[in-house]
Structure 1
């Protein structure tokens, strides 16, 4: 995965609209230590930090409808911040080298800043297929610690400190695991119990002309002051609830609350709630 992200960034720098100096430079991803001595103008993108972005962590499962086979549920991809240290290296002599490196680094900064998310045309390998669930956001700036920490970094590499900028890409990594499978719901058997009645239901929404389950929403029986979370197949239930007329309140992030009245009686304890199209 990370090698395909490298290839994606290389495609960005070699794009026909990129500055000529960037297109003509070599692109390297090796560690820029004391043994790194390129013989041509080079842009070095050193991947030095990989961390999960917990601010973007999503706990809701991904449901996919498989025709005639029901549904599959899988965990959402992990959102991972990949931070590169970008440096430029000129092959020219000392007097001109610094000027060339500053010019090239400036063009690199401006080019990368054009992309708040990486354009799909640059995506390579496993970054492109299967498609990313979310766009790949980027940020460009100076290293997080540009004083003592960066000094120690260059000292550890055995080279003099260099002007550098950080480039961050947030990548989606799918867990390598088999999804959970759920059969297609073909019928519902109602078995009411007068001694321990249970109000049951399914929360659905219309998408592309078909009714799809809405997992993760909150359903509340207003009069009883009880609530529950809708299951993977859109199912919800309230046990030990007396027969009667109730108000079901549906809450779903990003959408208005929905209220519906249901007549809960013996022989009619399953109710479908269909949300309006978003």
Structure 2
């Protein structure tokens, strides 16, 4: 859900803020000094630094009661969770940073909430629109210089963005986790039990994403196949797929809906996002 919220905010900034994707990057990395040194074009960073329940929006009374002849079921409202982002802008010239900061304010401040229909992926399944608070003080960080010191970076002007989302604690978790594994191979030292020499590290990834048509997942039964690998994966009801034991690199993926001709897409491992867009 949080990843889909990231993508929703990114889409809002690009479309409503009329930003050119070729000119400005939008990322969600921790803005450390090492990260900042690697930038090569203007970048908007939305660093998710705090997640906490919104107790003011917690309601314990049931929304409704479903009754049958001999029993009843109480339906309680979802919990509300505040997602806090620290928005900063990184460019060579201060003037460019200030113009982008103002563009972000112009885009987000008129919005009192994110409408469900504006969302990407799981955001569209939210039961309620998501309130926004922009450029207000945060209780989570009381000393900004300390935060920047921990990240080993210089203090930057920033905008606090808080989005309140709904979480149903009774909803079943069906989607698998996406994990990466570091595998170390080595030669056993002769005559020494347990001692290994000549280590060789390999990153192996278990990846997963969704097959999307526009802003919506495709649903169950769509075939996803890595070119030159024998196995084919079928998406679940949320349009999700998972591949296990993938080495870093660039891959081609064939996606087949029903009996249509497969559509070939590109996939890079590792990546921040493994969603496939048809």
- Return the alpha-carbon distance in structure 1 between the equivalents of residues 123 and 143 of structure 2: 31
- Return the alpha-carbon distance in structure 1 between the equivalents of residues 18 and 30 of structure 2: 25
- Return the alpha-carbon distance in structure 2 between the equivalents of residues 6 and 158 of structure 1: 24
Structure 1 173/159 Cα, relative in aligned 2: closer, same or farther at 3 Å?
same
CA contact (8 A) 1:9 1:122 kept: no
Structure 1 66/147 Cα, relative in aligned 2: closer, same or farther at 3 Å?
closer
Cα RMSD of the aligned pairs, angstroms, is 2.9
1:158 is matched with which residue? 152
Matched, 1:5 2:5: yes
Once structures 1 and 2 are overlaid, which stretch shifts more, 32-41 or 61-70?
61-70
Matched, 1:172 2:173: no
- Return the alpha-carbon distance in structure 1 between the equivalents of residues 24 and 73 of structure 2: 46
TM-score, length-scaled by structure 1: 0.55
Structure 1 160/55 Cα, relative in aligned 2: closer, same or farther at 3 Å?
same
- Return the alpha-carbon distance in structure 2 between the equivalents of residues 162 and 113 of structure 1: 20
Structure 1 115/148 Cα, relative in aligned 2: closer, same or farther at 3 Å?
closer
Structure 1 69/6 Cα, relative in aligned 2: closer, same or farther at 3 Å?
farther
Residue 120 (structure 1) shift: 3.0
Matched, 1:101 2:101: no
Q: Specify every segment of 5 or more residues in structure 2 that has no aligned partner in the other structure, as ranges.
A: 173-278
CA contact (8 A) 1:142 1:164 kept: no
Matches within 5 A, 1:19-168: 19-20=18-19, 24-36=23-35, 37-63=38-64, 65=66, 72-90=73-91, 92=92, 97-129=93-125, 132-144=126-138, 149-168=143-162
1:231 is matched with which residue? none
CA contact (8 A) 2:141 2:147 kept: no
Deviations 1:206-229 (A, max 9, x none): xxxxxxxxxxxxxxxxxxxxxxxx
Structure 1 68/22 Cα, relative in aligned 2: closer, same or farther at 3 Å?
farther
Q: Specify every segment of 5 or more residues in structure 1 that has no aligned partner in the other structure, as ranges.
A: 179-278
- Return the alpha-carbon distance in structure 1 between the equivalents of residues 29 and 147 of structure 2: 15
* Pairs aligned (count): 170
CA contact (8 A) 2:63 2:77 kept: yes
Residue 39 (structure 1) shift: 1.5
Residue 41 (structure 1) shift: 1.3
Residue 159 (structure 1) shift: 0.7
Residue 61 (structure 1) shift: 1.9
Deviations 1:73-116 (A, max 9, x none): 333211111110000111x3xxxx11100110111111111210
Residue 148 (structure 1) shift: 6.9
Q: Secondary structure of 1:20's partner?
A: coil
CA contact (8 A) 2:8 2:118 kept: yes
Once structures 1 and 2 are overlaid, which stretch shifts more, 140-149 or 26-35?
140-149
1:18 is matched with which residue? 17
CA contact (8 A) 2:66 2:74 kept: no
CA contact (8 A) 1:4 1:126 kept: yes
Deviations 1:174-216 (A, max 9, x none): 11357xxxxxxxxxxxxxxxxxxxxxxxxxxxxxxxxxxxxxx
The answer to which structure, 1 or 2, has the higher relative contact order (CA under 8 A, 6+ apart) is 1
Residue 27 (structure 1) shift: 1.0
Residue 127 (structure 1) shift: 1.7
**Greater C-alpha radius of gyration:** 1
